Structure 1
Amino acid sequence: MLMSQSGREARLRYLANSFRVLVPGDHVTCAVSGQTIPLDKLKYWSVERQEPYASAEFSTKAELGL
């Protein structure tokens, strides 16, 4: 029986140009804003900190420690 991943948060391993799904799901949560990010819309993350961001602005804030 196939289980739906709808509504489940995924766990990812963030790589330089992609990410690997460790635990299936359909979204992740922005490390700065707490916003839900659908996996098909995820564009920004930190390999060093292993965290996702909803936008370039949030990524910059995390990088600057704001």
Structure 2
Amino acid sequence: MGRQADGFEYVERADGTVVITHHGRPAGTLRGARVAEFLAEVADDPQLVMARWTGNYRRGNERQARQHPRNRG
């Protein structure tokens, strides 16, 4: 039914929606055409895909990017 990958899990519901959770908390709900796009993409790398679709892919590296020479302005 659902797949789990490092804290992210998704469940396909009978009404056609997909609910993505992160450590048991809702992170996003997909409906309509976005469900088909998500399911086609999630087979490759589930962790990265679910993080990207929920917007949680930038956590943790902002401080390092600020220190990079090209961003020191």
Q: Give the TM-score normalised by the residue count of structure 1.
A: 0.30
- Please tell me whether Structure 1 or Structure 2 has the larger radius of gyration of its CA atoms: 2
Q: Give the TM-score normalised by the residue count of structure 2.
A: 0.28
Between structures 1 and 2, the one with greater helix share: 2
Between structures 1 and 2, the one with greater strand share: 1
